[in-house]
Structure formats: C-alpha cells, structure tokens
Structure 1
C-alpha cells in the first residue's frame, strides 16, 4: 500500500472525537476513496460506505432525503445491522457532490452526533462553490492531492530515517554527498515521468513499464477533460479548450493564459472566462498561480485578477503529453530539451500540496519571478526561481526583485539541478528536490 500523509490526518480527526464531519475534497483518481476506506476498516468495527453517484444512477434512495430521520431510514435499508454507536460505526458518504442537498444535511447529522461520518467528492470544490448553504461550522474540509515527491520516495523504498536526515541537511543549508545527490536526481527525474497519481505510481513500482504508466495517465487526463465537458452547455467547450491549452501554454515564455487565444476572439477579457477558470481550479485538476502587482506581505492583498497561470495537477500527465513514451528526454537531461515548464509544474504542485497560496511577479521592464510565497514567521514575501538548465546563477529579474528595498525581501530561493546548497547575500541556492521540505505555516 502507498504511504499517504493524509492518512494520519484522517486518523487523528476520528480519534479526536470531533463532532465536525471530515469532508475530503480532491480531483478524481488521487486516492480519496481508497485511503478513507483503508483507515475506516482499521479503526471502526462497523463501516458503511455509500457511493452517491452509484445511487443516482440506480435506486436513487437518497435523491429526496432532507431530514436526519429519513437519512437513517435509507441507510438502515442497506446496512441496518451495522448501525450501532458513534464510537464503532463510521458512515462514509462517497461522491457526495452527486446530491448537493446532502451537504446541507451534514450540519444536522453533525448536530445529531449519533454516528461518525466522513464524506468525499471528486468535483466537490465545484459543488461547494455553487452551494449557498454550506454548513461551515459543522464540517472540516481538507483537500487531497496526488502523491508529492516525498510520498513518491516512500513508494520507491526510501525510509523515514533517510528522508529525516535530508530534511536536517535542508534546514542547515547543507549539500548532500555526491552519490546521494545523484540518487535523488535519478528519483526526481523518474517522478517527472511517473507523477503522483496512485494508479500510475503503483504501475511503475510493480512493472517499471512506461507504456502502462502512460496509458493510465492518458486515461485520467481524458477523465478530467470529460468531467469539464459536463458543465453547462454554453461553457463546457470553453472549459475543455482552456484545459487542453495548458500544456502548450507551458511552452511559451510567459506561460500564462492568453485570453485572446481561448476562442480566437478579440476584445475578450479575463472576466469573460472567470467562471471557466474557477471551474478548473475548484475541480482540483489545475494549480493556479495569480499575478501580483505589489509584492509585499501578505500577498493576497495585492493579487491581480487579470493575469493567471494554470499548471496541470500532475507532472506525469504533463510529460506524457509532451514526450509520450520517450523517457530519454527526461532521464538523460538532454540539452536540446527545455524542461522549464516541467520543473515549474512540479514546484507549483509541491507548494500547493504543502499549503501555500501561489503567486508570481511580472514586470514589463524588470522581468518575471516564477513564484512568490508568504513567510508567516518573518512576515515577508519569499521569491522562488526555478531553473532546469546549467545557467542557474543567471536571474536578473530575481536580482532586481531582491534588491528593491520597497519589497522588504529577507531571503529568496533558486531551485536547480546543482548539488551545492549555498547562500549568496539574500539568495539561497538549493537542489530542486529540496522543494519537498517547503511547508506553509499559515494558520
């Protein structure tokens, strides 16, 4: 079984005895149902699982449920003998977004406190964004992501002792030994190929067959596109068009969405497509990075609404689209292949999975900085530059940014393939794989 960090979060929530209902959000195929089922079967004597999509396509037992009593009655038809006490009975409402009215009912199930509950959904973010009566005080919503790089290391046999030792090196700004660095870069490049979708990782670990991995990634990519096409008829083609544009946008210098290219219509603005962007972001199939006009802490106060970058939520899906079954483009680090967009995608998804809100800086005269994050300890902004080539020390835009006294920058990072971790004035140079040790302390 794959190690997932969210497992301990789920376990701790159940052990806490909280009346709040855990709501696990996340894109399709990231492993929500599997990990909830695994934890539940280990912790509860009585486990009841109800998939609301299956119900909506079948008997529709829960289609008209509006009260706690009626909910219990329908559950009892399916598993009455397992409905015992809160301490030993867990009811898992899977794909709850199929019946949005059940989200409102969670408040009353929580207040009744008769059983323990957990709910999840693949397009839950979209449904929640359109639901007016979300039971805020009665739920605890968490988002699940594909496996991050650290989880990928565990899947490939690395243990906590080794990872903890590397974490200490990162904390002290120390480099790994050359042999360990080479091993980490080898695993990092394999992560670029495989990504973090559980089925793809399992296929790689078991068979080391890139064709099997690519077939899984292609299928998931198509699932995501098909899900987007279920949206309202007048917008679904536009959503699909934006989603399909993302890999090619990554190959452009700016990498951001060019609104005029979406439908090849002049005069269109970001506002015309805001609902489509929000759909893709809320569905969890992309990571969004907002432009910043005034890059000072806290960044959210000056986030721009009209410039946006979108990254696919899994780097393996991206490299499958860009390079197909040709693994040499990634593993051999060929000079002719620019991996900038691939590296940026990894960094975006790592930061997102570790709790950061993502921003970037773009100035016509001084250039662009790849990412900006908030540092809540120093109450300052931290710029991050990602380099896939050998010119990692060339970054004029970052230099201008760091030296601007108005921005109060205390430190900046450059991530690259270079083994040596070092600091030059305010800029810290670290190997790309150390991104796994960035964790937001917000809230």
Structure 2
C-alpha cells in the first residue's frame, strides 16, 4: 500500500476513541479505501473480520436481517460465519462498501455500545439521500475523507521521499530550493498533474514509467464513474453526466465560471443544482463558490449559484479532456514537453483546487468590478482564484483572509491581488502567489512554487 496521510488519522482515532465511536472512510470509488483499511487492520490489530457488502453471501446478510435484537448472538454468529475468534478490544470489524447495505450502517450504533471490537466502514456515494433515507445515521460514527493522493503522497509513492522532505522544509523556512532541485520538482509536479492521484494510475506509472498504462487505467475509472452516474443518479443522471463531461470545456474558457446555458439552452443553476450535489456527494467533483464579501467565515457570504466546477482528480481531467480515441494515448508526454497546444492554466487551477481540498479547505473565490480609470471606460473585472483563512503573524496569529492567486506561466501580473489588498487591507493577512518560479517573499506577500501548494 502507498503511504497515506489518512493512516495517521486512523491511528489517532483508534487511540482517542478506544472503541467509543466507529469511523467511516468516505471517498470516490477507486480512491484506495479498501486497501487503506485492510492495511490498517493488519498492522494495528491482532485480528480483523472483513465484510464486503458488494459481494456478501445471503447467509451473512441474513445475520444482519434476522439477529440484530441480540448483539451477543449477532457477533457470535458473524464470527462463526467467517471462521473467526476475535479478541475483545484487540480486533477490528470492517464493513466495506457499506452503502450497499444500509442496515449494517444503522446497526453500528448498537455494536459500538457493546464495545467489544472496533469498527471501520468504507463508503462510496454513501451520503446520497437514496442510500440513507430509510435508516437512522448513527451519531457514534466519525468520518474521515479519503481524497486522491496529494503531491507529497505521490512523491512518497514514486520513491522521491527526499524531495518531499526538502520541499516541506523549504516551504516552512521560506527558503528557495537550489535551481536544479527546483527544476526537478517542477518536472515532478507536472508529472503528478498528468498521472493524477488515483492509486491504480500511480501504481501503473510506478511499475511501467509510462503514461500510456496509467492513461488506460484512468479511462477505465472514468467509464466506471459514468456507469455509476447512470446506475445511481436516478432522475439526476442525465444532467449529472452532462455536467461531468462538460467540465474540461468549461475550465478551458477564460472565465471558468460554470455556464449552465451551454448544457441546455435557457438552463440556470437551479436546473442542475441537485445533479451538482449528487456529483459532489459522490466525490467526483469539487465545487468552488463565489464569496460575495471576503471575510473570515466565507460561507456566511456564499453565492452557490455562481460557481466553478473542478474535477476531484486532475489526472482524470487530462484523460477526460483528451478522450478522442487511441491516437491520443501519448498526449500526456506531449503535454509535459509542450508539444500540445492546451490551456495549461485549467490543469494548474484544477490541481491547486485538488490540493486545497485535500488540506481540508472549502473552496471559495472572489470576483468584483474595479471602477474605470477614465470616464466612459468599462469597469475592470478582477478575480481572486481562491480564498483560505490562516493565522496572521501581525495579528497575534488570529485568522485573516489569505487570497491565493494561481499562475501557470512565468510571465504574469498580479493586478487583481494588488487591488484586492488595497480594497480589503484590514481583513487581509498573508497573500500567496502560486507560480512556476522560485520562492520569494515581499512583505506580507509570498511567492511559492506550485509544488509547495500542499504545504500552505
């Protein structure tokens, strides 16, 4: 198994909870949930019992259906069914793909109260209404999201641990890496952007050191997601598929705000709102909302109808964008070496959104009109790509608005960031520019190489 940061969160849960809560690992399909929990079970417990509800036998399901009134009898029959003799307080029970059998999820409450064993659930599409509408969600259930591998995890997976360590140290100390190391890290970041963070894609690239194999894996995952949309999307399936397939085109536009009219003439946000919720619950997309008044507590001023829509994994975005047939199997390397004309900015912005999401940030942006400088001229449109909140040294570490600007080329301006700083001077803490060049600091503004996004 690749080293995952969620493993440490599971260790913290085990130590703190001492069996008083269960934990639900939420994530998209093929993001590595089963591998993570099995590895955790093997390393951290004397024994474990694994139930995969996508393939559980009728006899197993009958135990859940007919013997829930007596926990002691239930656990005895379950262990007999699987030929296990679990040691109390030193064993784990795993409910994999629990969304396929909601009764098991509901019963977690009673199993946790019994206290004999620890319990971990995994789920895809698990928070969608149709999967939970007939059950009581257990309050004893904690949740840990599992996202695609972030850039640091990717470096671990590809054996570049030294680079991961040095990037972290450099970011924390605000010290630029040597030019040669910087160039290597930018190449690795571009590589990560194309391979993506889906474990199977990364595994294929590690094994073959070739983009074609991981592209085939990613196309299989995209096909699987499309099947999921058709199978589980219900009345939202058609619109959810339309949104998902249109993301590359929407992001390639100069204004990356999602235009619903391009999907269906006359459509508005309200027409597609439930489809967007479905896709976000399935963890296939990351939505970035307009904040109409940028101050700490962005949700207080959220305009959900004006949004950008990013794919949850940038590697999948690359494969979806170039889904024209077998002749494009080598497009990944062509992109990396600049042999394909493409709006690289859409990939860079998507991967920054992906890294911010993996850090636990909700995604918000800010847009406004600056008055024209000359009479009769049009107002000047300004936009900040992302807003995060961070403690600010000059305010006793109290949280301040941190605007984040994303630059995909080495030649750029910071007009929007300059105007934003003047406009909201008292609210703003550190300003961050993510760019392909070296790290440098100018007052409260820090210019970070794109590969340091995961450490902001």
Report the 3-state secondary structure (helix = DSSP H, G, I; strand = E; otherwise coil) of the residue aligned with 1:433: helix
Does residue 406 of structure 2 align to residue 386 of structure 1?
yes
Q: Structure 2: state its 5+ residue gaps.
A: 323-327, 370-379, 392-396
Q: Deviations over 1:292-340 (max 9, x none)?
A: 1001112121111211211111111112233442234432246943210
- The more displaced of 327-336 and 27-36 is 327-336
CA contact (8 A) 2:233 2:240 kept: no
Q: Paired residue for 1:28?
A: 29
Does residue 453 of structure 2 align to residue 395 of structure 1?
no
Q: Structure 1: state its 5+ residue gaps.
A: 439-443
CA contact (8 A) 2:289 2:365 kept: yes
The structural deviation recorded for 1:231 is: 3.1
CA contact (8 A) 2:19 2:117 kept: no
Taking structure 2 as the reference length, what is the TM-score of the superposition?
A: 0.88
CA contact (8 A) 1:413 1:430 kept: yes
Distance 2:331 2:159 in 1: 25
Question: Which of 315, 335, 342 lines up with 2:347 in the alignment?
Answer: 342
Does residue 144 of structure 2 align to residue 134 of structure 1?
no
CA contact (8 A) 2:89 2:116 kept: no
The structural deviation recorded for 1:235 is: 1.8
Q: Paired residue for 1:253?
A: 254
Does residue 328 of structure 2 align to residue 327 of structure 1?
no
Q: Paired residue for 1:441?
A: none
Report the 3-state secondary structure (helix = DSSP H, G, I; strand = E; otherwise coil) of the residue aligned with 1:297: coil
Does residue 390 of structure 2 align to residue 370 of structure 1?
no
Q: Paired residue for 2:325?
A: none
Distance 1:385 1:401 in 2: 11
Does residue 404 of structure 2 align to residue 404 of structure 1?
no
Distance 1:56 1:228 in 2: 26
Q: Deviations over 1:42-72 (max 9, x none)?
A: 2222211101121388974366355453743
Distance 2:310 2:20 in 1: 36
Report the 3-state secondary structure (helix = DSSP H, G, I; strand = E; otherwise coil) of the residue aligned with 1:85: coil
Q: Paired residue for 2:372?
A: none
Distance 2:141 2:367 in 1: 38
CA contact (8 A) 1:68 1:105 kept: no
Q: Paired residue for 1:78?
A: 81
Cα 1:425–1:191 change in 2 (3 A) is same
- The more displaced of 90-99 and 314-323 is 314-323
Cα 1:410–1:233 change in 2 (3 A) is closer
Distance 2:270 2:385 in 1: 24
Cα 1:143–1:233 change in 2 (3 A) is closer
Q: Paired residue for 2:10?
A: 10
Report the 3-state secondary structure (helix = DSSP H, G, I; strand = E; otherwise coil) of the residue aligned with 2:3: coil
Q: Deviations over 1:216-267 (max 9, x none)?
A: 00011111121111235422111111111111111112222212223x131x
The structural deviation recorded for 1:290 is: 0.9
Taking structure 1 as the reference length, what is the TM-score of the superposition?
A: 0.91
